[in-house]
Structure formats: structure tokens, C-alpha cells
Structure 1
């Protein structure tokens, strides 16, 4: 039998652009008059989809539209989507910060939220005083907070400044303390937005470990929003993908990430005829991913080499520089960097003109999945980056079985960031 702890039923949220609230007094009176007569809100049938890239035809916009899902006790739900998809609005409704226009939320237990840096903190109060304030907001008694305050302070790493007003904290210190309070006051449901991105790497690792303990060890529920797919994958058990205020996919976390990244996948070729990315002496004309036959290709078998070619123009004579290349997987993990240390342009100044550079990524190096490439131009003496363009082009590595791959004939899931074909020798 399902142990559902949170259920969202047909949640929608409508805003009126350019105003505070949902509309004018006349609109509110019109709504009230329809409600008195037992009729539907007249403004529910108007409004545009929440697509920030397009100009709408109405002053009303649906930040969320007809969202339904349920979460069982002990599950970690990852909510992913592009900026403006409605993720934060959904969390604010789940946390009762704002009310839905239509639909209902049913929960069993206390909800603790981390939505924005400093939410629920008073800047003039000390860190210690804010722990009691925030804990009280979350429904804890003073005795309960006191019993855990030493543990909260130790976890936050802000012990030296705990009796200093929060207005003097950095954003990282604030989010450390806020997370420590929310995580240690034993809510049945913990709601975490992208705020952990403010913390440093050490704190993010500790926070994710704590959320895993909350869900797996203590059987409580976590709702987690992040653009870091590695964090989502390591923490979440299931997920939903949002787009333009709607849920477009729901399933296990691996399938959700694949669905999200399929929409975000870069093209295998890009060309600029105007508005070239560049600097004072350099501009990028074209970037493309090629297979071994020198053909543009998005998909590459795991045992095959991948060629990434950049065509650029030098705008001034007597320029001395070198090239840089970075590769990221679809979870945003930086897989490798390479500097063109043997470049002719580094050894001798070059003249104006069109040049090309090709990088070969050997087969049996990358694991299956999607990748994006960045391209950089650096100068030495002293070293500095003249130009760096992220996500220029992308490609997919497709897995295969056989003796010429590390997988061999094994058909199960093969973990790891890279998949080199290593030599095994008998001694």
C-alpha cells in the first residue's frame, strides 16, 4: 500500500503581468461576484503559457498549469527544468508561501523550506537568535530547538560568528545556517531550491550527504530543485521534468535526466554569419563535430574517435596566442581540459587571416552520454584568457558491446565518468 505524504492535485498559478497581486479591483470584484453566484472564475479561461522567450497576447500568464503528482514517504523527488519552467513557483506553493489559483495540496506532516538565501532570517538578529526564530516558524518548541542548537551550529560551520548579526554574513554563510536549521529540526518534508549552489564544494557535499541521511536513514521526504544533474542523480529516487509551467515527464531519475537533456542537447555544428563571438583581435566563425570520415555527426559510437573543429579569424597582425578546449558531460561535470601547448601561434606571431584547429578525442575514453564543448583563446606572459565560449557544440556517445570496448559482452548498467579500454595482464 502506498504511503503518500504529499499530493498535488491540478495545481495552477496565474499572475497578472506588471501589477502587484492578481489584477485590478474591478477584476477582484468580478471574481468575487462569480464566486458568490457559484460560478467559475472568469479569468481562468484567459492567459498565456509561461514562455518567457515569446511575446504574449494577454496580461495574464500561467506560471503553472494543471500539475498533479504525489510523493511517498522516504522518496527524494527531483524537480528539473529550464529557468522559467515554474519550479520555484511550485515549491513556493508546496511550502505555503503563496496559494494556488486552482487545485489543492495535501500533506501529512511538517514542511521545512529552503527557497532563497536568507528567507525567514532577520538581518538585525544574530545567527543564534535566527535559529530560534526560524525554528519557531517551522513549528518547533523552544525546548526542541535548544536540544539541537549545538548540532545545528556545528553543522553550519559558523560557530565563530553565531552571535554576530546575520546582515554581516556572506550569502554562503547564510545558506549554511539556513540549511542546518531546516535539516536538523526534523521536518517530515524538506523542500530545497537551488540555494545550495551558493555554498562551496565542501558544504554542498555535506548538505547532499545530510539529505541522503534524511531520506534513506530517517525515512523522511525531500523535494529537490537543482540544475546540477550530478547532484540530482546522486540524491533523487524519482523526478519530474517541467517546461512552460507544465509537467512534461515523470519517472525514475535517470529517465527524467535523459528527457531533460534531450531537450537541452547542443547541435553538432554552429556557424556565425554575424554577431560572431570573439574579442578585439579574434572572432569565431564555425564549430563542428566530425566523425572519422570527416562528416558532421551528433552521435558517435563509444569505440570511435570524435573530432571537434573550430574555424576562426585573426583580425590583427602580429598576434601570439594559444588555444584551449574543455569538455563537459550532460550533468555539468568538467571531464577534461586541453591546452594547445605546441601551437604555431604560440611559438611565432601570426598575421590576419582564417585558421582552423581540430581536436581528436580518442575512442574508448568517454562513457556513454551527452557532452558539450567550450573553446578558448589564451595569451601568455602573463597568462590570461582572452576569449572563452561555453557550450559551442555538443555530441552524444553511444554505447556498444564487443571485444573492442571496455563493456565486452556485459549488458548491464556500466557506471563511471570515463570508459577507457585498459590493458589487463597476467603476472
Structure 2
């Protein structure tokens, strides 16, 4: 327990919808009446899940519900989820910008937060003055700040403007300086929201490298919110997935990324609406499905088994010469492979008007465990033209039996790499 540096227990946050001030006096009086009689706040028992896409019947919503987790010194926790899932609300509560409706947070040491561009900066003060201001807020002495100020300025890349008021900074310059202050003034816990997306590619690389140094080299704890799954994967060792204010998954960061991304539109079966507008006038996509070794439509497949992907389409016009293409992507958007049907009959002679099928077989023991999505293309040659290219048509999940000692030995973690072929060693 002595290694636990941050502990969140049953954190919940309720908000009231509507215009500020409308009807609040009656609600405040009702809360007060319950309080003096020693009863619970009546509005804690009402409220709906925070699903912003649906119209509800209650004026109260739960932005967060019963969030609990523990962090050890040196942990880097990813908090991932869709927009509106409650990520920023959770970070604001952990940073003590706002309080929870109920629940408790216990922490040891200083917490530095980078929640929005320029958080805690005074626009009328210079960059140098803001460094001292933020350091003082974090509890640093002037001597401690002065010993770090040259490193902060150099890292931020704002040396030429450091004695200029911050209100004249661009958003990128502001976030560079804000991150440098938060990272170099040595908080025990560093809380970072999506703000790094404001910076350019070079600064994002520097920032992620610095966070890795903070966590691994200096043993400090980082909480990181980002929609950039590559950054999350390279930086974090653990993660939680939020959905509508609730934790739906917690575990290793790779598993969290898979859980988050496979909760989107990817599934093993898709049917196109007959009235749906399609890109090419000579062909209509009808159906796509992922099939296992028992000819069932299945999302989950064992790593040793073949997988079939079947596309059904209808030819609408005579004399069409074309071929087919498949692209495969992992959850980070990495393009794993492309395959074109170079032996297609439709390259030699046109297919008849009517319904046709094409099936691609992905051999077992080649793809690494994880979640994948497929795109489907129709192309012409001489000259080469892509007539249609449908992204994320269907998807599937590769699983490995972790008790299989023949492939894994005693190793129970996740293997690195994009593919897992069983190569011959001599």
C-alpha cells in the first residue's frame, strides 16, 4: 500500500441541465430541507446516464458514475473513450479544479495539471513571470524555480518570446510553455489532457519523450488523455476505457486500445441498404461477412485458424471489366496488407448481370492477436481507376489461447509486432 500514490474511490459527478438559475432556488431549498432533517440529498437518486446523443427525461445527468482505481509510483495511466465519455471531467476532479458529487480522492505529493491551453497562465504577464507564478502554485520556492528556468525555456522553444506577454503567444507556443512548466517543476503526479494535440509533430515527440523520462527515469506518475492511440501505446502501461461516465474496461494498455476501438462500427457482418447511394453505377455492394472454420459468421477467431472474408455484390450493367482489392488495418490505423485479385475472371471477360460472390482466405498463424478492420475496393486496369473503396466494411478479432504452452511457454503477456508467422528455424 505504501507505493499507492493516487487512489480514487467511487468518484461520481452529477450536473444539472438547462439554463443556469432556472428552477435552482426550489431545488436548493429542497436540498436544505432534507439536510436539516438528516436525510440524503434527494437529487442523488435521480439522473440519467450521460449519453449526449439521446434526449432524456431528467434534468440531471451523471457525467461520472462510481469510478475507482489505484495508481502506483511510476504508473502511466491512459484514460480513453469517445467524446463526452467523462475523461476531462475525471481529470478536473483529480486535479481538484472541481469536486465530485460524491466519492473520495487520496493522493501523496504535488499534482500538476495541463487541462486546457494556457490553464493557470495570466495573459498580461510574460512567459518568464508565468513560469514563476505556476511554480508558486505548485508549491515551489523561487530558488527551486530559478534552478529549472533555463531548462524550461529551452525545452519550450519560446526563448525569443519569453519576456513577451503570454496573450501575444499562439496556442502552440502557449501549450509548449505550459507543458515545459508542468514537466520540469517536478510534480509527483502529472495530469495531461488532449492539449498536446495543439503542438506540432516535433513538439509532440519531445513531450512524449519527456513524459517517458518522467515516469520511467524519475518514477513519477502520469495520467494521460488522448485520442492518439499511437501516443497512448508508446507512453502508457495501463489504461481505463470510459463510456457514458462509467469504466467499461481496465487493464493493460494494448487490451484497452483494442476494447475502445472495437466498440466502434467494426463488426463481422454488414448488409447494405438496397436504397443506399453507392459510388459506382455498374455495381452494388450487398453484403460482407467474416466466417470462421465452421462456416459461422464470427467476430472472434483463434490465432491458429484460417479466416474467410466473403463479399457479395450485384453487377448492374453489361461488359464491365474489373478486379477486386482488400486492405487490412489494425486498431492504430496501420495498413497491415493489401491483396488484389490478379487472377479474377472479370479481368479477362465481363461478369454477367446478377449477384456474385468473392471470398478471401487469411491463413492462420500469420496475424498477431488484436482487432482488425477490412476495406474492399473495385478497380479497373488500363488505365488504372479505383471505382469504389469502402473503408471499415467488416472486422474481426484474433485471440490466442494463453494456456497453450506449445506457442507461449510460460509467457502470458502480449507479443510485440504486427504479424506472428511461425517461421522455420534451421
Aligned to 1:394: 395
CA-CA distance at 1:370 after TM superposition:
1.9
Aligned to 1:267: 267
User: Could you give the per-residue CA deviations for residues 72-114 of structure 1, whole angstroms, max 9, x where no partner exists?
Assistant: 3332233233433222211111112222222332322221112
Seen in structure 2, the aligned counterparts of structure 1 residues 20 and 361 have a Cα distance that, compared at 3 Å, is: farther
Q: How many residues are matched?
A: 422
Give the conservation status (yes or no) of the 8 Å contact 2:121–2:130. yes
Seen in structure 2, the aligned counterparts of structure 1 residues 263 and 385 have a Cα distance that, compared at 3 Å, is: same
Seen in structure 2, the aligned counterparts of structure 1 residues 322 and 123 have a Cα distance that, compared at 3 Å, is: farther
| Alpha-carbon separation, structure 1, partners of 2:359 and 2:130 | 56
Aligned to 1:35: 35
| Alpha-carbon separation, structure 2, partners of 1:254 and 1:284 | 33
Aligned to 1:47: 47
Aligned to 1:20: 20
Please give the TM-score of this superposition, normalised by the length of structure 1: 0.79
Give the conservation status (yes or no) of the 8 Å contact 1:279–1:387. yes
| Alpha-carbon separation, structure 1, partners of 2:377 and 2:123 | 42
CA-CA distance at 1:294 after TM superposition:
6.0
- 1:247 matched to 2:285? The reply is no
User: Could you give the per-residue CA deviations for residues 271-314 of structure 1, whole angstroms, max 9, x where no partner exists?
Assistant: 12256374374764322223467653323333444333444567
- 1:89 matched to 2:70? The reply is no
Pairing of 1:56-135 with structure 2 (within 5 A): 56-121=56-121, 127-128=127-128, 130-135=130-135
Considering only aligned residues, what root-mean-square deviation do their CA atoms show, in Å?
A: 4.2
Aligned to 2:288: 287
- 1:188 matched to 2:188? The reply is yes
Aligned to 1:410: 409
Q: What is the SS of the residue equivalent to 1:393? A: strand
Give the conservation status (yes or no) of the 8 Å contact 1:370–1:396. yes
| Alpha-carbon separation, structure 1, partners of 2:106 and 2:424 | 56
**305-314 vs 162-171, which deviates more?**
162-171
Seen in structure 2, the aligned counterparts of structure 1 residues 13 and 161 have a Cα distance that, compared at 3 Å, is: same
Aligned to 2:219: 219
CA-CA distance at 1:63 after TM superposition:
0.9
| Alpha-carbon separation, structure 2, partners of 1:193 and 1:375 | 36
Pairing of 1:260-409 with structure 2 (within 5 A): 260=260, 263=263, 266-274=266-274, 276=276, 278-279=278-279, 281=281, 284-291=285-292, 296-312=297-313, 325-330=326-331, 332-338=332-338, 340=340, 342=342, 358-375=359-376, 389-399=390-400, 408=407
Seen in structure 2, the aligned counterparts of structure 1 residues 82 and 409 have a Cα distance that, compared at 3 Å, is: closer
User: Could you give the per-residue CA deviations for residues 112-147 of structure 1, whole angstroms, max 9, x where no partner exists?
Assistant: 112234433456766555544544444444443343
Q: What is the SS of the residue equivalent to 2:396? A: strand
Seen in structure 2, the aligned counterparts of structure 1 residues 123 and 345 have a Cα distance that, compared at 3 Å, is: farther
Unpaired stretches in structure 1, ≥5 consecutive residues? none
| Alpha-carbon separation, structure 2, partners of 1:329 and 1:397 | 11
Give the conservation status (yes or no) of the 8 Å contact 1:276–1:285. no
Please give the TM-score of this superposition, normalised by the length of structure 2: 0.79
Give the conservation status (yes or no) of the 8 Å contact 2:325–2:341. no
Give the conservation status (yes or no) of the 8 Å contact 1:16–1:23. no
CA-CA distance at 1:34 after TM superposition:
3.5
CA-CA distance at 1:269 after TM superposition:
1.1
